[in-house]
Structures are given as C-alpha cells and as structure tokens.
Amino acid sequence: MADNCCRDFQLAVDQYLIRHRSILDVLTKYQESNARVNRAFAKAVTECGCVDIKANRQKIPREAEYSELLKFMSSHLSGEPCSNCKEILSKEIGHNLFYLAALCNFSGIDIHDLLVQELKNLKTLGAFHLS
C-alpha cells in the first residue's frame, strides 16, 4: 500500500505540474518551498511561541562511546507545534514533497524505490550513511 501511495503521488505530481514544468522552475520552487518550511517553523517559535529553542553546545563526555552519543544530544527544542502551526507546517512540507516528487520525475527516480534504498542504507550503515 505504501509503495502505491508514493507512486500515486508521484504520478499525480507529473500530471498536475503544468505551469512550472521547466527543471529550472522546479529547482527554484523546491528551494523556495524549503525556505517556507524553515519560515513556518521559525514562526512557531517567534510568533506563536508553541515551540521554544534553547540552543547551546552539545555536551558529550570525552569517554562516551559512539553508541551512547544519542543520549547526550539535544534537539534544542522544547514544546511541540500547536495544531495551527502543525497545519501550516504540514501544508509547507506537503508543497516541499510536491517539488521533490517533480525532481524525482525529471530524474527518472521512483520515490518508493528511493525510500526503500535509503531505509536499507540506514539499517546497514546507521549514522555513517550520511558521511
């Protein structure tokens, strides 16, 4: 079912992406949608206040093993986006997914296959898969 959802979404994007059909349009719209996601999260902090950011240097003991690092790391967030902010974030992330699917379409990449491969990489390489 999940693979059908991904493929159905990717096909719908291909069908309904008309006005911004150029790869240049899609690249810039994708970048813009990334900025809008960032802005929506920032507004949850600065205007709504449902989320608070308290950032400081991560404090990791010298003797900590790599397998223990997660328990010493902080997201620097406290709180959770309220229902209104979640709705806005969901809308902006949805637009971001739309343009990601369009990039995949132009590249001949199947989103479902991409997710499956990335999951496989994560399970095999763990945190080292991003290096």
For residue 59, report the phi and psi dihedrals to the nearest 5 degrees: -105, 105
**105 sits in which H/E element:** helix 83-107
Residue pLDDT, tens place only, 5-23: 999 999 999 999 988 789 9
Give CA–CA dist 122/116, Å, rounded. Answer: 10
Task: Fill in the amino acid letter for 128.
Answer: F
Give CA–CA dist 6/12, Å, rounded. Answer: 10
Query: What is the number of other CB atoms lying within 10 angstroms of the CB of residue 114?
Result: 14
Name the residue among 47, 42, 53, 43 with its Cα closest to residue 78.
53
Q: What is the pLDDT of residue 129?
A: 61
Residue pLDDT, tens place only, 69-100: 889 999 999 999 999 999 999 999 999 999 99
Q: What is the pLDDT of residue 121?
A: 87
Residue pLDDT, tens place only, 27-61: 999 999 999 999 999 999 999 999 999 999 999 99
- CATH numeric code, 2-125: 1.10.287.1080
CA distances from 98 to 3, 6, 12, 18 (A): 16, 11, 9, 13
Domain boundaries, given as residue ranges, for the chain: 2-125
